[in-house]
Structure 1
Amino acid sequence: MAACWHPVEFKRKTVITAAGDTERYTYFVLDGLQRAFSLAEGEKEATLMFSYKGSFSGIIDSFFLQQPSRYYLETLTHSAFLRISFADVSRLMQEHPLIAHWVHLGVVQALAGVMERMIEVQTLGAEHKFRRLLARSPHVLQMIPHKYLASYLGIDPATFSKLLGSARI
């Protein structure tokens, strides 16, 4: 399996996967910060997720379905990855049931995270979303530009600023 992972680097603000492209790789982040986002009508961006050192990245639905992505994956900083192709993942899953099980568990965990996030976005107010983010991942305040965190939470940047000013960190 190790032979299937290949190093790759991208400069800051590089779109790795564009909407309409099919994701051919999944990435393990060695360094840097990335985000997945969508462009709604009127070109308003909505940040969907972040990835950073020690996490996996990529447009997971496009990767596993091998269908065009509806989202963008871009680097926010210079980023270094190990990446593996869809063809290699598919072959490894067919040849090694334990790898297929590992991939299955990873996808289920990702889906559970998406469902939790949907509940937060659809049911919580701005302050509760902000406080949950602080409780879950306080380190992101130093890593990720606040305009992207506001977009991720689905709140206005000015509201995010007010909440940040009133928070005890």
Structure 2
Amino acid sequence: MQTNRTESFSTADRHEFLNRFHPISQEEFNAIQEKIKSKTLKRNESLIRPGQVQKQLFLIRSGVQMCHYDQHDKKHVIAFTYPPNLCAIPDSFSEQVPSRYGFTSVTASEVDCLSFEDLQLLYAQFPNIETLFRRINEKLLVRLLNLHIEFRSMSIEERFTAFCQRSPHLLQKVPHKYIASYLGIDATNFSKLFNSIRI
């Protein structure tokens, strides 16, 4: 689930956001917050590099980040994250295996970090927290399936328009070459679309 917010995301906002997936009590939310450590990222700083194991789940407080696959000195952008989203490479974090992908801060960012070990402890102590994160994963899978169908069935003009309607703020915050990569559009065609389509 995404919103169009990229400003700083408060603790109270986070509780409200998590409750959209599955209600948790104040005690359960406080237990999550007690395990969290905050981190500030510079522009273009890596959260995860290919080959690293993602040992922490990132809860985005501010800024924009991107997941990418690097090949032949080129970044192929897979996803963007921003508040109030969670940031994870699912197989690396869930299975604690080296990632094939990178996660990089596109802008200066603030993230809260929850370690894999602490999350497992929370699951054991609070079954409702485990239900919460299962529901988040289910919503993510549905969203990824919808995006896959969208990319397969839409023309480049339709993909561009859908992206702009869903995340218009990214056009001002993210270099257009990364958006073009994410949408699977040639940079020249992206420039033409950007200058010709009114959103």
SS in 2 for 1:19: coil
Residue aligning to 1:138:
168
Q: Provide the TM-score with structure 2 as the length reference.
A: 0.80
Give the C-alpha shift of residue 100 in structure 1.
Answer: 0.6
Partners of 2:150 and 2:70 in 1: CA distance: 21
Contact 2:58-2:88 within 8 A present in 1 as well? yes
Contact 2:60-2:111 within 8 A present in 1 as well? yes
Residue aligning to 2:155:
125
Give the C-alpha shift of residue 140 in structure 1.
Answer: 1.8
**Count of residue pairs brought into register by the alignment:** 168
Give the C-alpha shift of residue 63 in structure 1.
Answer: 0.7
Q: Provide the TM-score with structure 1 as the length reference.
A: 0.93
1:75 aligns with 2:105: yes
Partners of 2:109 and 2:34 in 1: CA distance: 21
1:113 aligns with 2:143: yes
Runs of 4+ in 1 over 6 A off after TM superposition: none
Give the C-alpha shift of residue 12 in structure 1.
Answer: 1.4
In the alignment, residue 85 of structure 1 is paired with which amino acid? S
SS in 1 for 2:53: coil
Q: Where in structure 2 are there 5+ consecutive unaligned residues? A: 1-30
Contact 1:26-1:60 within 8 A present in 2 as well? no
Give the C-alpha shift of residue 115 in structure 1.
Answer: 1.1
Partners of 1:13 and 1:143 in 2: CA distance: 13
Equivalent of residue 9 in structure 1, options 40, 47, 57: 40
Equivalent of residue 95 in structure 2, options 65, 71, 80: 65
Partners of 2:63 and 2:176 in 1: CA distance: 17
Give the C-alpha shift of residue 44 in structure 1.
Answer: 3.0
1:127-158: CA deviation from partner (whole Å, max 9, x where unpaired) = 11111112222222122221111011011111
1:154 aligns with 2:154: no
Q: CA RMSD in A?
A: 1.3
Contact 2:52-2:98 within 8 A present in 1 as well? yes
1:66-116: CA deviation from partner (whole Å, max 9, x where unpaired) = 111110001112211111000011111122111011000111111111111
In the alignment, residue 47 of structure 2 is paired with which amino acid? I
Contact 1:10-1:75 within 8 A present in 2 as well? yes
In the alignment, residue 182 of structure 2 is paired with which amino acid? Y
Q: Where in structure 1 are there 5+ consecutive unaligned residues? A: none
1:20 aligns with 2:51: yes
1:5-36: CA deviation from partner (whole Å, max 9, x where unpaired) = 11111221111111111100111111221111
SS in 1 for 2:192: helix
Identity of aligned residues (%): 32
